Amino acid sequence: MGKAHWILHRDLKIAELVFGADTSMLNLRHSIAELPGMPGWQPDFNMLLIIGDFASLETFTPTAMKDHQTFMRDWNERYRAGHSPKTALVCADDLKRIIPELWSAMTREGWKTKIEVFTNRPEALDWLAADEA
């Protein structure tokens, strides 16, 4: 696709997606839809979404995020195993971080997936690695 790409960290059980400069909400949905068919993907993987400095989030409107929410709710139920899989969103940019924070707030109640927002990758990896008590 060229706009975003997955990196599977099999030893960590993490699927990492780095948003490219042209990653749109539709590109994101397509990337996520392709993940279960990727060699090495396992349903017990957590997800790490990196929103880089050059990512443009102009297509991440409230309406588009609502549509994405419908897609993700079904996708998580179908393709993610375990009681509470995790998704970490990383965004260092204070202004852009509003988008992942909004997404996290939209998915707090009634979701199978735990979602947290971080300003850097190491903190996100620590959270993904931590066992929930």
Q: Give the C-alpha separation, 107 to 110, whole Å.
A: 7
Mean pLDDT of the chain: 84
Count of domains in the chain? 1
pTM of the model as a whole: 0.85
pLDDT in tens, 13-43: 999 998 877 777 888 888 999 999 999 999 9
For 95, the domain range is: 4-129
CA 106, 133, 9, 85: dihedral to nearest 10 degrees? -40
Which sign, positive or negative, has the C-alpha torsion 14, 69, 27, 35? positive
